[in-house]
Amino acid sequence: MRGLVVPRTTGPDGLELRDDLPEPRGAHPWADGERLLVEVRAAAVAFPDLLQSRGAYQHGTPAPYVTGGEYAGVVLEASPGSRFRPGDRVAGLSVWGAVAERVLGIPRYTVQIPPSMSWIDAAAFFLNYATAWFTLDRAGFEDGQAVLVHGAAGGVGTATLDLLRGRAKPSIAVVSSDAKAAVAEQCGADVVLRTEDGWAVRARELTGDGVDVVVDPVGGDRVTDSLRALDVGGRLMVVGFAEGTIPEVRLNRLLLRNLSVVGVALDPWEQRFPGYAPELIAGLEAAAAAGSVRPYVGHRLPLEVATGALGILDRRQALGKVVIDVAAD
Ligand SMILES: NC(=O)c1ccc[n+]([C@@H]2O[C@H](COP(=O)([O-])OP(=O)(O)OC[C@H]3O[C@@H](n4cnc5c(N)ncnc54)[C@H](OP(=O)(O)O)[C@@H]3O)[C@@H](O)[C@H]2O)c1
């Protein structure tokens, strides 16, 4: 089997395309013994795959391993009693292993994909949209509220903007370049601000009292300004730390203005509150079937030249999702 391998956890530059990989056996370790074997048509990498290539991801697997946290493809084998059947078009999380001809899926984090959605778009769907959906749900977002999105042209950012399209009043994107501003606009941002331009002050001016929700997959030194941008009662959603440092928050800032800082991690939530993921999956499937989601794929790489895929994320160059075409046509 062919696949893209991280031979050692020394970072994004050492990827190797190999054609002598063993076929996936048994079930994915996260799948409670339920085998779901998928023929991969397209796969995708995201920031967690970059962290994993450095051995810095909490859910990682030891090297050597096949990279790729998510996939889209056709079910080859499903366990008895599964809601999936051979021949189903699916997409989902694999955490690793997706950039290969076949992958083991995790049934509880797998969605049915309508024929109207391309394999490339489907590979860009699950992780970012599940994260964005869960984030907005945990934030208690209601239509008409103001939401500021950091890293808005990245994977999580573009999906969040897409879900907020026509619902947030307004959605405010924060990005670092012209190219990223154009992506954020295309994904539905009502207002685009630049990281270097006093964005927190501008967000308060635009909204009067401040935003209701900040979605932050970036972290670093912008956290205090994020709190300043919030209205009384606002929520700062902690999604990730792409900037590389984990910020600290002075609690007096929360007390004085009734602010909340809320962590976002789907799997622990599902473990504690089983039944949440099926509800989320049903929502994602309905959105995909209705054609109301438009994943933004900024990079489509044939498998043969995909060894640079993680480097795009590492250089802060990713626009939307980085997708690898394994057999998409
Ligand atoms: N909690 C969850 O369930 C969950 C799920 C998925 C991902 N995540 C986390 O969310 C974060 C974002 O993931 P993603 O897939 O959206 O990543 P991404 O596509 O690479 O986007 C990250 C964005 O962060 C900004 N950034 C600021 N400093 C950066 C740096 N030094 N290097 C790279 N980017 C930097 C960039 O925007 P600008 O250049 O415009 O500032 C970039 O577009 C990661 O930390 C990831 O692990 C969490």
For 128-268, the fitting CATH number among 1.25.40.10, 3.40.50.970, 3.20.20.70, 3.40.50.720 is 3.40.50.720
- Taking only the tens place, the pLDDT of each residue in 252-293 is 999 999 999 999 999 999 999 999 999 999 999 999 999 999
**Which residues pair with residue 43 across a beta bridge?**
71, 324
Calpha distance 87→101 (Å, rounded): 16
Distance from residue 21's CA to the centre of ligand 1 (Å): 30
Written as six digits, the tokens of 96 are 């690793």
Distance from residue 271's CA to the centre of ligand 1 (Å): 25
Q: What is the pLDDT of residue 110?
A: 98
- Taking only the tens place, the pLDDT of each residue in 239-253 is 999 999 999 999 999
Q: What mean pLDDT comes out for the span 182-194?
A: 98
The residue type of 144 is G
Domain ranges for the chain: 3-125+295-325, 128-268
DSSP SS3 for 128 = helix
Q: What mean pLDDT comes out for the span 130-135?
A: 98
Report which of 321, 314, 317, 316 is spatially closest to residue 299, judged by C-alpha positions. 321
* In contact, 119 and 328? CB cutoff 8 Å: yes
Q: What is the pLDDT of residue 58?
A: 87
Report which of 238, 275, 236 is spatially closest to residue 253, judged by C-alpha positions. 236
- Taking only the tens place, the pLDDT of each residue in 18-28 is 999 999 999 99
Q: What mean pLDDT comes out for the span 73-98?
A: 98
For 3-125+295-325, the fitting CATH number among 3.90.1300.10, 3.90.180.10, 2.60.40.10, 3.40.50.720 is 3.90.180.10
Tokens 């907005």 -> residue: 136
Distance from residue 301's CA to the centre of ligand 1 (Å): 20
Q: Which atom of ligand 1 lies at the shortest distance from residue 242's CA? A: 45
Q: What is the pLDDT of residue 198?
A: 94
Checking DSSP bridges between strand 147-149 and strand 171-175, what pairing results, if any? parallel
- What residue ranges line ligand 1, CB within 6 angstroms? 46-48, 127, 131, 151, 153-157, 175-176, 180, 195, 217-218, 239-244, 264-266, 313, 316, 318
